[in-house]
Amino acid sequence: MKTSFAKTQTLAELRSLETVLSVLATFNAGTPLKAAGLLSRAPSTVYRAINRLENEIGAPLFDRRPSGWVPTDIGTRIVRLAQTIEREATETELMLLGRNAPFAAPLRLSASDALAEAYLAPLLADIMRSETSLKIELIVDNQFANLGRREADIAIRPSEKPGDGLVGRRAGKLAHALYCAAPLLKKHGSPASAADLSRFDACVLSSRFEHHTAATWWRNGIGERANVAFVAHTEMSLAAAIAAGVGIGVLPCFLGDQLKGVKRVTAIAVGPPVDIWLVAHRALMQNRLIRRLMQALAAAIKQDAATLAGLRK
């Protein structure tokens, strides 16, 4: 079939939001299956949207490779079109919300899985009891959501700075430390220096989470001193492995200090606490709802400052 962009039906298909989102998400995620997760849609929906457009155009949009789906020349053109549509839609949405337009969906708050599950969930429940009009979608994201693309409206980030194009406020400090199950410490003896870590198996966070102390501390010359026995892709699974006695590992203190049967190893410093930033896109900072939630979060984090900074067990 001859390729043509002039067919009315094909142009209508390109204008379909579902199709545009499916193509772009597949390009960003690498496969339709992963794209479905990003879009919170069934994988079959994403596959159908792409297949429908390919049938109309008469050419494949992606090369289906074992390592991931790579756009063809035609696919690249459509991805660029989708990126333009997404960018224009996002900029318009941010402009309207910056003028205090109401949120059509729950306000999206992004945080790491440890902060989301072990700290924020009960905190947000308290905030929502006083802010009855507030609806929140809590997004677990260990890779830092792209606020410019509205993957989230507000992000809580342990970082040195808020990020390009973003504004925010330092709300507190987040400390990390080494933790180990008590039976392992009794068996091997509590390590007094990094050299002693060779006696232990190590539980580490995947190195692809470059913003997390639980990943970077081992990578910066410490990991070679211990046998890495367990690699986690969430902080909560890392904490579970450490509590189960798999090995020694780094955790945020607010999480590690509450684990039953687990002790903090104080002789080996992991490093100074990092800043906790509350950040949002610059345009959204004019929205009253965004400002109220950020103020409430900042007040709560200040109240829990000692726990988050590892000063209270």
Mean pLDDT of 209-215: 85
CATH number at residue 58: 1.10.10.10
Q: Are 257 and 183 members of one domain?
A: yes
Max CA distance (Å), the chain: 74
pLDDT at 119: 93
Q: Are 168 and 280 in contact (CB under 8 A)?
A: yes
Contacts 24+ apart (CB under 8 A), 46-51: 46/22, 49/16, 49/18, 49/19, 49/21, 49/22, 49/23, 50/19, 50/22, 50/23, 50/26
Q: Are 138 and 118 in contact (CB under 8 A)?
A: no
Q: Are 232 and 252 members of one domain?
A: yes
Residue 94 C-beta-side C-alpha neighbours within 13 Å: 22
Tell me, yes or no, whether 251 lies in a domain. yes
Strands 201-205 and 227-232 come out as: parallel
Tell me, yes or no, whether 1 lies in a domain. no
Mean pLDDT score across all residues of the chain: 84
pLDDT in tens, 289-307: 888 888 899 999 999 999 9
CA dist 99 and 218 (Å) reads 45
Task: Tell me which range, 15-19, 107-111, 157-161, 224-228, is most confidently predicted by mean pLDDT.
Answer: 107-111
Boundaries of domain holding 222 = 176-265
Q: Are 253 and 294 members of one domain?
A: no
Q: Are 144 and 259 in contact (CB under 8 A)?
A: no
Tell me, yes or no, whether 27 lies in a domain. yes
User: What tokens appear for 300 in the block?
Assistant: 């709560």
Which range has the worst mean pLDDT, 72-81, 137-146, 192-201? 137-146
Phi, psi torsion values for 73, nearest 5 degrees: -60, -45
Tell me, yes or no, whether 61 lies in a domain. yes
pLDDT at 57: 85
Please list, in sequence order, all residues whose beta carbon lies within 8 angstroms of the beta carbon of residue 184, skipping any fewer than 6 positions away. Answer: 200, 245, 247, 248
Q: Are 69 and 119 members of one domain?
A: no
Number of folded domains that form the chain = 3
Tell me, yes or no, whether 213 lies in a domain. yes
pLDDT of 160 strictly over 50: yes
SS3 content of the chain, % helix, strand, coil (to 5): 50, 20, 30
Task: List Cα–Cα distances, 298 to 132, 303, 309, in angstroms.
Answer: 19, 9, 15
pLDDT at 221: 63
CATH number at residue 180: 3.40.190.10
Overall pTM > 0.75: no
> Which one is predicted more confidently, 289 or 160?
289
Q: Alpha helices, DSSP H only, in 131-191?
A: 182-188
Out of 47, 63, 98, pick the residue that ends a domain. 98
pLDDT of 3 strictly over 50: no
pLDDT at 262: 97
Burial class (CB in 10 A: 0-12, 13-18, 19+), 263: middle
